[in-house]
Amino acid sequence: MTKMKKICIPVLAAAALAFSVPGTTQEAEASCNTYRVNVVTGYLALRTDTSYNSGNEIGELYSGDLVEVMDYTGATGYWYVYSPKYDDFGYVNNDYLDSVTSSVSSYDTMWTVSVSTGYLALRNAPEYDASNEIGELYSGDTVWVSDSSNSQYWYVYSPKLDGYGYVNQEYLYREEGLDTDSSYFGEIRTVSVAKGYLALRNMKAYDASNEIGELYSGDTVQLLDTSDSQYWYVYSPKYDTNGFVNKDYLVGGNAYATLYVKVPTGYLALRSAMGYDAANEIGELNTGDTVVVIDSSSDKYWYVYSPRLMKYGYADCNYIFCN
């Protein structure tokens, strides 16, 4: 069975758990990297390596389990995936994965949590069990629905928790008339303040106690949720974390570009700093690898994200091309 990779714009998450969303398409139906396990008998092994070996099994995935594909470029027949069931990464045989389609339009509007008391649990399995809770979502929190095929539990991505899981769909709603500016999702903005700094916050409110970072003019952020009229939820590469900022101090509007590495020999070094130094190498990028360009303001070293290495760093832009 031959599977083709679906092209989409990567979204960069704080924990380097990259996932993909449609670009500006308003009729998108599901996260294009979400797949469902389909085995006739037994289970699909989650492995530490790209080979069939009982010694590298770290988990058992059964029909109906979901995974998020992180990298399609590994050994033939094996994809690198994230399993919410195990909250772990590994390799699986892609012959037993089916692309997920959703019965709701997932990315044209946000879905909002609404509970009368307490919280809505984010779970690693589609069932009510105290042991499968992996996060707490409160009224006003937003999620993106990746799979709504289950009548009770939907598979979602939570920007607040920076993770995937299942939630009881009865506690989700969306306002049909609300323009959530979802076309901005994944775009970058630049901080512009006359003096001082723009606070990165863990809550949507002006309060000194909720500050988790200081963003200065020239710093960049990625938009994750623009539904609030004042505070937008963003990812800060500077702090490698998510938080809220006052949108009035953000300027610009360029989407991330996915480009290709091309070197005549050897590899292109991914570096922890701008500069040619063997000590700052944190990864090797080969011809054909893709990178997501976050900051191209330097005429020599661009700040990029590598989906294959699941790392951020600097790379010599002379070896990065459109195709």
Please say whether the beta carbons of 223 and 236 come within 8 A.
no
Class of the domain covering 257-321: mainly beta
The CATH number of domain 186-254, selected from 2.30.30.40, 3.40.50.11540, 3.40.50.300, 3.90.180.10 = 2.30.30.40
- Given this model, what pLDDT does residue 123 score? 92
Residue ranges covered by each domain of the chain:
9-99, 111-173, 186-254, 257-321
Q: Using alpha carbons only, what angle is made at residue 123 by residues 77 and 147, rounded to the nearest 5 degrees?
A: 55
What lies within 8 Å, CB to CB, of 295 at 6+ separation is: 220, 237, 302, 303
The CATH number of domain 9-99, selected from 3.90.480.20, 3.30.390.50, 3.40.50.2300, 2.30.30.40 = 2.30.30.40
- Given this model, what pLDDT does residue 131 score? 92
- Given this model, what pLDDT does residue 168 score? 93
**Strand 142-147 relative to strand 111-113: parallel, antiparallel, unpaired?**
antiparallel
- Given this model, what pLDDT does residue 254 score? 54
- Given this model, what pLDDT does residue 100 score? 66
- Given this model, what pLDDT does residue 114 score? 84
Q: Which structure tokens are listed for 193?
A: 């303040």
Would you say domain 111-173 falls under CATH 2.30.30.40?
yes
How many CB atoms neighbour CB 43 within 10 A?
15
Identify the bridge partners of residue 89 per DSSP, sorted by sequence position. 82
> How many helices (H) does the chain have, and how many strands (E)?
0, 30
Tens place of pLDDT for every residue, the chain, 323 residues? 333 333 233 333 333 333 333 222 222 233 456 788 888 889 999 999 888 888 999 999 988 788 888 777 655 788 888 888 887 888 999 889 887 654 443 443 467 888 888 899 999 888 999 999 999 998 878 787 877 778 899 888 787 777 788 999 988 876 444 444 444 666 778 888 889 999 998 888 898 888 989 999 878 887 777 877 888 888 787 877 778 899 989 877 655 667 889 988 899 999 988 889 999 899 999 988 888 787 787 889 988 878 777 777 889 999 998 76
Same fold, 186-254 and 257-321: yes
Q: Which structure tokens are listed for 60?
A: 């058992």
Identify the bridge partners of residue 122 per DSSP, sorted by sequence position. 135
Residues in the chain: 323
- Given this model, what pLDDT does residue 10 score? 35
